[in-house]
Structure 1
């Protein structure tokens, strides 16, 4: 792009911005009201998409925070300075979001949708109870000097702040963490991401903007009652607008707000008794025809990957992991029964046994996916019992999964970046640097940085899982049947790669059915059957043990 074209675009953008700011000076009352509607729905839809877009947690609680903000303004608007009222509304929204988010954000899918809708109704009923029993009035009057012009400019400033916040969030590591959570929350947690804290923080941020919007809009109505402030239609309108424009993009919701505000104006005037039916039809059409919104038709821009220090694989000189009497039961079924073992630095420990013997369950207890019913797990001097997956990952224990888990909507590079940005080692302890590109080259994905992870073949997704695990700078990696499904050539390459990692000083625990790999890589292995360890020692020794042969082939065949 030439300098002249850039100057022309800058001038056009400046002229458009000036026209938007000066809009109240030349718009008549009706068009100014439309502008206000566009602005406040833009703020609500963008704030909604800030959280729900990347995480895919569909929230119907928008009106709960919007209504709380409006009622805060109604209660304080005539006795306190307006900036203080807006700050109070922000505080009420943030506090409510924090209290409810601590419990609701552990839900997902349809359960979260139902709870968020119920939350809005619960808050409405609480406000009604308070108004009737304490305030002795169903509604409140708010007489304010805020004119339509001032209201417009307040909303415009708030919209600019929402877009600025959304831009900064999207370019930060927390924006990447949100998208990782939305793609695969389990994989994100095992990549060092504290999913609960990240979700809660952005949920509070989103709710704060919604509450302030309600406070800013309160003077427009003069009289506020629960039917106005907590109108459930607002929540559905916001969802529909965000989805139409594209909730996965910062400016996507605006593309849904503008046409739908105009359409809703027409529907309200022409079909007031059928508005909800038409709203439902529009929602169904958007989901069926434009699942990624209008912005999905245009195409999404290349995402910025936050900068972070490069990863490296470190050698350690102290004992790493010890399991002492670890058991795991499910409703009386003991899947792991009193398993004990220790792993020394630089060792590859093999865990073998027939299907259903408890191997993967054991790995799940080591990585924090499951809490052991009894026993103790130590990584170095740290007891892992009771720690969550992200905490264990940050301590230096990474893993792959038996059923491969990548974050499909993120690129190959973003999958690795998510782990690099949330690993726990301080920068001063990382030693020599190995970039994400180096890790992808190491596993054979060097030419696929920008490919969506969901488009990779099954084998390449396994390679990506390993690269993501290595990006955590682990002291120990759990490989759960990582070599399964490889053809002979790929198997040879995979064995060589694991041997290379061992030679670099990485400690590995591998669950595997490929006995050639166990013999080639493992200095020591344990054999599990029915949840218990039935043999341990060098691979050739345990594979010749009659108990092991019986476990694999059955007593009669042995």
Structure 2
């Protein structure tokens, strides 16, 4: 089907749904309202949690905020203004909560969001009893069941439209990269804090609007009704069943589960929570990626890659979310060092990993950073790239101080890196992995231009035939090549290679050395941490040797490798 055919089919379905209240009433209209409002909640939840894999249990909190806003302001403000206030209040709470909690991850984030719902419920209950002098509130808003249904249906259309546009923007890509590997996201130039905050606020806004629209349906609400924690769990189960990683997934999960919950509530009211838990276990065990994930495995054409989903409209919608990219200083083609560091120190408790480290890197050279295991080499790379902040010392890139800058700003300034343990975005294709670097560098590339540049970089590291293959299916050496291509996508001023040649067989090692040599011939400035001494001799112009966190030698490879203190550091006193 063409896009026009899909659009026409969607319009027809929407007209039929809008006409439903004209032919249905009573129980069936009430059931339709439940279907639509759970679809909105599950889709709003999946906007944030689907791509990032941050599981939130605070749906009830924002739903309740919207419902109580409607209850408190029902007799004071017009209905349209009430919706605006509910949305703004939810966004404000989401931003405040997000700033303090989105640095958490895993089970800690889940527990906090669940605790947030309970805390807000208790605060509202305390206010109602001790300040307002009642248990709950009556809501007097002139509306009908049909009116509630139509408002929810309109909100559902907006949720899907926003989700469609975000999914085709750099924000959508950022969230997918964050979900795959947040460390890679930061070093690809993505401001992970802004991206997560923006979608958390959008998701919370839709949840609050749903609560505000639903409030008049009950006539009377109290904290137990508005902030019912079961709502949070039901929404998660619906999204997971359908597939939270796909826009239409929550809809697929909401329809059957709303119907099932109706049956369970009517026939097993005292055992509903137990049955809900069993349903959750079954879904997680048998459908970990939901119905949508299962269909994408069976029908590959359903999986739309990033290259086929880029939208200029979507990007224009969210472009103001990002801060202005870090401006790179103009490189002077002379003997001025690209990177200088002095007095660098980093300790972890009583362990000093870097102690008064100082050296510089000249333009176009390969500097080898070598030393025994545990000597502090990777720590130095982490300090340069912003993964760690030094206790003291100075690092400058073309004269610009890097200490104190977040990793994504340092990446935008031109510091690219690979990792000691190879990190690729396994669920994304090779092209999509490289676009992750192109889309957030300074200046950023998007759309067809980004796709062309990504394919050129993949060709540069000899992966042309595997450009559209998921990264998880690549061999070890090819994953290393892909990680290098993603680093090169940043258009680096300096490239940090952390044991990039480790773990390769002799043929792969030969190919890897050839790739690095080609980069040097192209003028790329490189700092490489490596244990392969043949590679160090073959590739490096100079070497810095570290031991126990301190620099012990610096100079040409032949000289430093013959230095008695270096030999002692590697072999010990008896063999030196």
TM-score (structure 2 length as normaliser): 0.92
From 267, 270, 288, the equivalent of 1:270 is: 267
Does residue 521 (structure 1) correspond to residue 518 (structure 2)? The answer is no
Ranges in structure 2 where 5+ consecutive residues have no aligned partner = 297-301, 316-329
Q: Indicate which of 226, 230, 237 corresponds to 1:229.
A: 226
CA contact (8 A) 2:345 2:353 kept: yes
Question: What residue in structure 1 maps to residue 36 of structure 2?
Answer: 39
Alignment-derived partner of residue 512 in structure 2: 494
1:553 and 2:574 aligned: no
Partner residue in 1 for 2:72: 75
Q: 1:297 to 1:98 in 2, by over 3 A?
A: same
Distance 2:416 2:12 in 1: 52
SS state at 2:464 partner? coil
**Alignment match of 1:301 (pick from 283, 300, 303):** 303
CA contact (8 A) 2:487 2:495 kept: yes
Which residue is equivalent to 2:465?
447
- Quote the Cα distance in structure 2 between the aligned partners of 1:316 and 1:33: 70
Instruction: Tell whether the 8 Å contact from 1:315 to 1:505 is kept in structure 2 after alignment.
Output: no
Using a 3 Å threshold, how does the CA distance of structure 1 residues 9 and 159 change in structure 2: closer, same or farther?
closer
Aligned counterpart for 2:402 among listed residues 384, 405, 408:
384
Residue of structure 2 in register with 1:510 after alignment: 528
Corresponding position: 1:469 with 2:487: yes
Q: 1:537 aligns with which of 536, 555, 558?
A: 555
Matches within 5 A, 1:359-398: 359-398=377-416
- Between the two proteins, the alignment pairs up a number of residues equal to 548
1:98-109 equivalences under 5 Å are: 98-109=95-106
Aligned runs of 1:81-96 on 2, under 5 Å? 81-96=78-93
Q: CA deviation digits over 1:135-178, x for unaligned, max 9?
A: 11121110111100010000000000000000000000110110
CA shift, 1:537, in A, is 0.3
Distance 1:307 1:26, change over 3 A: closer
Which of residues 135, 145, 148 in structure 2 aligns to 1:148? Answer: 145
Question: CA RMSD of the aligned region, Å?
Answer: 2.0
Counterpart contact for 1:346–1:508, Cα < 8 Å:
yes
Deviation at 1:488, TM superposition (A): 2.1
Task: State how far apart, in whole Å, the 2-side matches of 1:52 and 1:276 are.
Answer: 23
**Matches of residues 263-412 of structure 1 in structure 2 within 5 Å?**
263-299=260-296, 300-305=302-307, 306=310, 317=333, 318-412=336-430
1:410, CA displacement in angstroms? Answer: 1.7
Q: Which residue of 2 aligns with 1:30?
A: 27
> Which shows bigger deviation, 37-46 or 402-411?
402-411
Q: Which position in structure 1 is the counterpart of 2:326?
A: none
> Structure 1 residues 189 and 40, CA, compared in 2 at 3 Å: closer, same or farther?
same
- Secondary structure of the 2:367 match is strand
SS in 2 for 1:22: helix
- After the TM superposition, which of the residue ranges 133-142 and 163-172 deviates more from structure 2? 133-142
With over 3 angstroms needed to count, the CA separation of the structure-2 counterparts of 1:484 and 1:134, relative to structure 1, is same
Q: Is the 8 A contact 1:242 1:252 kept in 2?
A: yes
Does the C-alpha gap of structure 1 residues 73 and 7 become closer, same or farther in structure 2, counting only changes over 3 Å? Answer: closer
Cα deviations across residues 457-492 of structure 1 (Å, max 9, x unaligned)? 221111111000000111000000101122222222
Aligned to 1:187: 184
C-alpha distance 316-497 of structure 1, shift in aligned 2 (>3 A): farther
3-state SS, counterpart of residue 338 of structure 1: strand
Secondary structure of 1:375's match?
strand
SS state of the match for residue 150, structure 1? helix
Following superposition, the deviation at residue 11 of structure 1 comes to 5.9
Write the deviation string for residues 95-131 of structure 1: whole angstroms up to 9, x where unpaired: 0000000011000000000000000001111111211
Distance 2:55 2:451 in 1: 40
In structure 1, stretches of 5+ residues that fail to align are none
Asked if 1 retains the 8 angstrom alpha-carbon contact of 2:431 and 2:451, the reply is: no
Q: Residue 315 of structure 1 contacts residue 504 of structure 1 at CA under 8 Å; is this kept in 2?
A: no
Cα 1:12–1:531 shift into 2, 3 Å: closer
